[in-house]
Structure 1
């Protein structure tokens, strides 16, 4: 099993996700969103499963910095917004094959790693 984690080095939830899989000796591929944005197709995969609204971090600092907290962001505009500015994503985004999670989801990850 190999796990791909999208997040930032400064995000505590992303650090905890990396530690969770490292402790279980599961190979991880970390994509730092500050260095490289997630591909549009990758974001679409998460959006199809959870909806684009679940990917947008409305509580985040970047959301407020851009003034989006006072604006109505229509659902059709969210995916292009996330592609242009990956710092608006809820992190970590974790993918293991066809299994996906958004944010910290230890219970789901334990199911993935159960023998």
Structure 2
């Protein structure tokens, strides 16, 4: 089973995710938002799984530096996904995508392991 992992390589949460997956012996393909920004289609797919609001990392520096106008764009799905594609540092990470298309948002070892186990069955 090969997973797809999306995020930013130098993020501490991503490092925890990589360590966890490697410890579990999981093969994964990593997409670094800093090298390849997510396109609108991918953002729509993620939003359809968890809702666009959950994709927004409101704890990070990128969010805190947004203007009031940009923050208001985050209230409407189309403009929120466009802004997230443009400012990918604001996407909650990691996003772990399984072969069946389901995702786990954020570093949640139990949820990742549970989903891996259910796919193996």
TM-score strictly above 0.5:
yes
Cα distance change, pair 69–19 in 1 and its aligned pair in 2 (3 A): farther
Q: Residues 21 and 111 of structure 1: is their aligned pair in 2 closer, same or farther, counting only changes over 3 Å?
A: same
Count of residues in correspondence between the two structures: 115
- Residue 70 (structure 1) shift: 8.7
For 1:1-115, list aligned pairs within 5 A: 1-68=1-68, 71-73=71-73, 74-76=75-77, 77-97=79-99, 98-114=101-117
The answer to which of 73-82 and 51-60 deviates more is: 73-82
- Cα offset, 1:60, TM superposition: 0.9
Give 1:34 shift.
1.1
Distance 2:55 2:95 in 1: 9
User: For 1:40-87, what per-residue CA distance to the aligned partner results, in whole angstroms no more than 9, with x for missing partners?
Assistant: 222111101111110011111011122359943322321111111111
Find the aligned partners of 2:5 and 2:87 in 1 and give their Cα distance: 17
Query: In the superposition, relative to structure 1, how do residues 70 and 31 fare at CA in structure 2: closer, same or farther (>3 Å)?
Result: closer
CA RMSD of aligned residues (A): 1.9
Contact 1:18/1:28 (<8 A) preserved: no
> Segments of 4+ in structure 1 off by > 6 A?
none
